[in-house]
Structure 1
Amino acid sequence: MEDLLNRSYKTEVEKKYTVLYVDDEEVNLRVFNRNFSKFYHVLTAIDAFEAQTILSQNEVDLIITDQCMPRMNGSELLLKIVPLYPDIIRMIMTGFSDENDISEVKQKVGLHKFLKKPWDPAQLQKEFDHAFVQREDLIIERRLAKAPKRVIPRKEENLDLLESTMSLVETSETKQLKKDINNLVKESKTKKAEFMDGGINFLQNLKDAMLPIQQELKLYTEDAFIVYDKNRVNQNGYWFGETNDCLVIASFHSNTHTRESLALNSFVSAMLTEIVYKEKRTKTHEILNRLSTKIHVRFLDKSNESSCPLEIAVLVYDRATDKVSHSGAYHNAFFLNERNDFKTLVGNQEVIVPGKDMQFDINAVNVENIKALYIVPFNILEETNDNRGDSEALRLLLEEMRKVPFGMQAKMFEEYGYRSVIALKL
């Protein structure tokens, strides 16, 4: 059993490289992420401007960009970023066979691969791995070429004079100078990241500020905990509140590019507050329908064709009837009954697309039949279960967790890499 648990929760694929995919079509970003996230650290950007922001904040080994994008195309993006990141592997993808548009980028900064749509995942992975091997070989060759040259370089040599000199004469003054230079470089990168187009740091802080205080959930339940990773960009979110003797809990995930995801999650938190406290809605399906309408009318730019898909589960604990109701859009909930059997509250198997009419299924369970209830998004199940969205790994984990006190389970979830979990006893 122990071997099965370890194999289920932690991926055996070592993610050594980071790949950034740039495309103005959201569906392509989602498909790319699902195909390659278990092999590499995958970052996605909806346009060239967001790509520049992500590059300023992350160590990226390979960038693959669509050629045909509004405002700045793929060639223009590479011409702009390669001087800043000369060792990055660059690839362009296009649906057109004419290579004239990318001739400039080939001549000025070089291009590792020109690819044509549609792409095959297996073949594309081979192209990536081949490029990584080539880059590693090139880095080794550079190191070997530099190794014996322990003299001050001549002017015509393409070496950094300051770095070479300081490596030869290591004094307390040169060490401090190197430290000061490194600090200035780090500070400049931080300032650049803060003010570049996109404002990802600001949006991340705003989203986190909108989250309810985790400890307060215990005020409404027998016991509860929330696992939520704030140490890196987290496109999941949660919300809870009480009205008319009903506790409303929501868990959601915006599966779109980073900038819009963070903004949408903040908006969802604000609208749930309005729907529950101002409109006094306590029916799960009504809350989801109202939220979908508000996103469509008040969040989306009418000139923007973006759909802003949202995966969300809403649970309502009605103390008057002593029942828990659940509705979800590609987001289930799970519980252990009084016999410790693993049960699933299944929501609709499609995401909320604002403006699209949906009839939400409603699950109702008596509280006396629930020993412990867990809300875990599908994307979190995939991250911790070899890119599979099924709940078998969670079931096995809960079988082990029931042996330890409820309060200790949060630490176990964290150790197994779960970045967003809501758990409660009612």
Structure 2
Amino acid sequence: MEDLLNKSYKTDVDKKYTVLYVDDEEVNLRVFNRNFGKFYHVLTAIDAFEAQQVLSQNTVDLIMTDQCMPRMNGSDLLLKIVPMYPDIIRMIMTGFSDEEDISEVKKKVGLHRFLKKPWDPETLRKEIDVAFEKKEERLAEKAVAKKPRPAVKSQDTGIDLLESTMSLVETSESKQLKNDINSLVKESKTKKSEFMDGGINYLLSLKDSMLPNQHELKLYTEDAFIVYDKNRVNQNGYWFGECNDQLVIASFFSKTHTREALALNSFVSAMLTEIIYKENCTKSDLILKKLSTRIYVRFLGQKTETTCPLEIAVNVYDKKQDKLTHSAAYHDVFFLNDRNEFKTLAGNQEVMVPGKDIEYDVNTVSGENIKALYIVPVNILEETNEQREDAGALKMLLSEVHKLPFGMQSKMFSDYGYRSVIGLKI
């Protein structure tokens, strides 16, 4: 009886899965954590931007997001993250009717459940468990489909068979033959590794060779600098050129696998050259639309199962009219105005998903109001400022840096670890 009384009972189930809940109301986050924290590893985020940071630092099995949130709603959040996390289970919860947005998510990236507020904890847990069960079933089916035939033991089955046969008739000649074959197998594996590394090096060389240099940029503008780290794999890129007194400057970041990103960056540079010089297109929003279509049709071959998300800003300075226009997909730029205040030109707050029809915002600023323009991608802000995408730290740096000559500004950005920055005076 004493043993029975002293026996400890397990109050929580084994937490096998991690769930991220996104809602702009803190009380809802607390309620969700209290109801489901004993069944799953629960992570919470107060908005879509914090959710992206949580995803970058944790392995998440399921994301449940509120639809109606400021700055970026649940639909846009899913459209942004699914290309990076294609296996994540996704659910949207709303108290309103957002059928158009929801159907867009279903069409573009798929949606496991669309739930209405207020939610009942017991019913919601059943929905989550069903989603996990279906995922486990899909994984099991894939595992069975990929299971090798029993006769195949390894990649070197032929060597194993040869060794077992030779053990019966071992001679000095057979020993030498076995050693020779093993050497060839080892060499082929080494060559394969060298080939893979060489492939990345080739793509790096191709991408870097298409980057215009700082001297060329200074031909188009009063003064300029370019900071770009070529000492390690850099998935950022940039492009500039002038057509009919229109200076076009693009900055972009391919947010996909390294090899694919390097190839995509080279393709983007080539397509910008084609769009601007061949087609004389110098409208910032139209450039983005044309580029998105070309990536989808010519780079991806209209493969709907493949996406290459791109963060990109296109800036066009009209020298005759002395004005700057800016359009972007999750890529802001910053400028110092005539009152020495730093302002932000904000583009669309979602990445470019090639093939997706998006109307890009167009921001216009008079050249008289711009003393200096700084183009810094969001991913550079995040990696330089402890995964925070806000521009507070950058603006503090700029408030001091802008007082220096451009040559010294370039060095300071490099010293602070910024891997891709363009600064110019127009």
For the criterion TM > 0.5, the same-fold answer is yes
The answer to whether the 8 Å contact 2:256/2:308 transfers is: yes
Output the CA distance in 1 between the equivalents of 2:235 and 2:136. 30
Tell me the CA shift for residue 246 of structure 1: 0.6
The answer (yes or no) to whether the contact 1:236–1:254 under 8 Å persists in 2 is: yes
Q: CA deviation at 1:98?
A: 6.3
Paired residues for 1:172-187 under 5 Å: none
The answer to whether structure 1 residue 342 and structure 2 residue 342 are counterparts is yes
Residue of structure 2 in register with 1:326 after alignment: 326
Compared CA separation, residues 264 and 32, structure 1 to 2 (3 A): farther
Q: How far apart are 1:354 and its partner, in Å?
A: 1.0
Structure-2 residue corresponding to 1:298? 298
SS at match of 1:326: strand
Distance 1:423 1:34 in 2: 29
CA distance in 1, matches of 2:387, 2:381: 8
Matched, 1:266 2:266: yes
Taking a change above 3 Å as real, the CA distance of residues 229 and 36 of structure 1, as seen in their structure-2 partners, is farther
SS in 2 for 1:339: coil
Q: Do residues 396 (structure 1) and 396 (structure 2) align?
A: yes
2:53, 2:387 within 8 Å by CA — same for their partners in 1? no
State the partner residue of 1:243: 243
* Structure 1 residue 303: Cα displacement: 4.3
Q: Which residue of 1 aligns with 2:354?
A: 354
Q: Is the aligned partner of 1:286 residue 2:289?
A: no
The offset of 1:301, in angstroms, is: 3.1
Point out which structure has higher relative CO (alpha carbons under 8 A, 6+ apart): 1
Secondary structure of the corresponding residue to residue 263 of structure 2:
helix
> Counterpart of 1:424 in structure 2: which amino acid?
L
Match of 2:56 among 34, 48, 65: 34
Q: Secondary structure at the match of 2:386?
A: coil
Corresponding residue for residue 167 of structure 2: none
Contact 2:324–2:366 (CA under 8 A) maintained in structure 1: yes
Paired letter, 2:259: R
Alignment of 1:138-157 (within 5 A): none
Q: Give the structure 1 partner of residue 418 of structure 2.
A: 418
1:80-110 CA-to-partner distances (Å, cap 9, x unmatched) read: xxxxxxxxxxxxxx94686997999xxx99x
Question: Secondary structure, in 3 states, of the residue corresponding to 2:233?
Answer: coil
**Partner Cα distance (2:194, 2:266) in 1:** 19
Deviation at 1:404, TM superposition (A): 1.8
How many correspondences in the alignment?
265
| Structure 1 range deviating more: 300-309 or 214-223 | 300-309
Report if the CA contact (8 A) 1:384-1:417 is conserved: yes
Q: Any runs of at least 4 consecutive aligned residues in structure 1 with deviations exceeding 6 A, and if so which?
A: 30-33, 97-104, 187-190
Task: Tell me: CA distance 1:233–1:265, structure 2 relative to 1, closer, same or farther (3 Å).
Answer: same
Against the structure 1 CA distance between its residues 189 and 409, is the aligned structure 2 distance closer, same or farther, given a 3 Å change threshold?
farther
Change in Cα spacing, 1:333 to 1:189, as seen in structure 2 (3 Å) is: farther
Aligned residue in 2 for 1:228:
228
Distance 1:369 1:301, change over 3 A: same
Using the TM superposition, give the Cα deviation of residue 386 of structure 1 relative to its aligned residue in structure 2, in angstroms.
0.9
Distance 1:98 1:208 in 2: 43
1:194, 1:201 within 8 Å by CA — same for their partners in 2?
no
Q: Distance in 2 between matches of 1:290 and 1:324?
A: 20
Larger radius of gyration between Structure 1 and Structure 2: 2
Q: How does 1:69-148 map to 2 (within 5 A)?
A: 95=136
Partner in structure 1 of residue 201 of structure 2: 201
Q: 1:192/1:395 Cα in 2 relative to 1: closer, same or farther (>3 Å)?
A: same
Change (3 A) 1:370 1:190: farther
Q: Distance in 1 between matches of 2:368 and 2:53?
A: 41
For the 8 Å contact 2:335–2:371, the answer to whether it is kept is yes
> What is the CA-CA distance between 1:287 and the residue it aligns to?
0.5
Aligned partners of 1:191, 1:314: CA distance in 2, in Å? 41
CA distance in 2, matches of 1:369, 1:410: 22
Residue 329 (structure 1) shift: 0.4
**One-letter amino acid of the counterpart of residue 310, structure 2:** L
Q: Tell me by how many angstroms 1:210 deviates.
A: 1.1
Give the equivalent residue in structure 1 for 2:375.
375
Taking a change above 3 Å as real, the CA distance of residues 235 and 402 of structure 1, as seen in their structure-2 partners, is same
Task: Tell me how far 1:32 sits from its aligned partner.
Answer: 8.6
* Aligned-residue offset at 1:338: 1.4
Q: Residues 98 and 267 of structure 1: is their aligned pair in 2 closer, same or farther, counting only changes over 3 Å?
A: closer
TM-score (norm 2): 0.57
2:422 aligned counterpart, secondary structure: strand
Q: State how far apart, in whole Å, the 1-side matches of 2:53 and 2:197 are.
A: 25
Q: Could you tell me which amino acid in structure 2 is paired with residue 325 of structure 1?
A: T
Distance (whole Å) between structure 2 residues aligned to residue 231 and residue 36 of structure 1: 28
Is the contact made by 1:198 and 1:259 (CA closer than 8 Å) also made in structure 2?
no
SS in 1 for 2:393: helix
The answer (yes or no) to whether the contact 2:314–2:327 under 8 Å persists in 1 is yes
